[in-house]
Amino acid sequence: MASAGGRDIGVGAGAGLASGLFGVGGGLVLVPYLVLVRGWEQKRAQATSLVMVAMAATAGLVGYALADSVAWLAAVPILAGGLTGAVLGSALVKRLRSWILQVAFSAILVIAAVRLLVAGGTGDPSADPRAVTLGLALAYLASGVAMGLLSALFGIGGGILLVPLLVALFGYDQRLAAGTSLAVMGLIALIGALRQSRQGMTDWRAGALLGVGGMAGALVGARVALILPLAVLTWLFAALLVIVAMRLAVTGWRGRHSTA
């Protein structure tokens, strides 16, 4: 039991490291571990991972906030959109052919990776991402809806979509995008864990244990992200996007004959 607990903390730390480094949810690491290694059912794994994501995102956010790498005003409409998208995604998940969406989304992630590499992750020097006009607020709201929708449909952290959107469409540099993503992700993950807890899916004790490691990893990840050259950070994140895209495409293609 103690060995399993120590392993959970270690895996949580790895997931938190990715979260703090790139501003994404650690569920990309955690859910496969819980399903394949611990033998958990998929929905229980996804719900419990949200506890760790909420804790890790909060810890990582502290590092970015201290470095002034969070666009707080932009986070408000993104958060509102994310919560709306999560509710819509939960309602749609049983009605859509998920394999088509997974393959299509994998293509979007590859395009986003290429776009990030072209931009270099340095953002648009002429843009002022901290200034929020009405038009920008609506665009942030729409981005949040897309983030929440896809997160609910595929069970992955919305940051994997939000960070490329902030860089490519709003002129953020990689660090500011990651910090802003974490500012939104923590609350959305917590609300998701609470909602799924009503259905008996969320294991709070296991999630908290994983979250302890996640918080430590996220603090380290945020620290590393703030000292790495932006070009290196962007290449690493682009590689993560491609890996996630491949995983989604393979999973979707294998499940194309299912009724879901």
- Give the side-chain half-sphere CA count within 13 A for 177: 29
Does residue 1 carry a pLDDT above 60?
no
Q: Is residue 260 a part of any domain in this protein? A: no
User: Which 8-state DSSP code applies to residue 97?
Assistant: -
Residue, of 120 and 139, whose pLDDT is higher: 139
* pLDDT tens per residue across span 68-125: 999 999 999 999 999 998 888 767 755 666 567 677 778 878 888 887 787 666 666 6
User: Which 8-state DSSP code applies to residue 156?
Assistant: S
Cα-based distances in Å from 67 to 62, 64, 225 = 9, 5, 11
Q: Which domain holds residue 93?
A: 2-254
Supply the pLDDT for residue 96: 62
Chain-centroid distance of CA 133 in Å reads 26
Q: Is residue 153 a part of any domain in this protein? A: yes
Q: How far apart are CA 175 and CA 25, in angstroms?
A: 15
**To the nearest whole percent, how much of the chain has pLDDT over 70?**
85
Tally the domains of the chain.
1
Q: How far apart are CA 53 and CA 30, in angstroms?
A: 9
Residue 141 pLDDT grade (very low, low, confident, very high; cuts 50, 70, 90): very high
pTM of the full predicted structure?
0.86
Does residue 50 carry a pLDDT above 80?
yes
From 107-116, 174-183, 232-241, 247-256, the region with the lowest mean pLDDT: 247-256
Q: Is residue 214 a part of any domain in this protein? A: yes
Does residue 224 carry a pLDDT above 80?
yes
* Burial class of residue 111 (count of CB atoms within 10 Å of its CB; 0-12, 13-18, 19+): middle
Task: Look up tokens 């072209």; give the residue.
Answer: 118
Pair of tokens at residue 117: 């590499």
Q: Is residue 259 a part of any domain in this protein? A: no
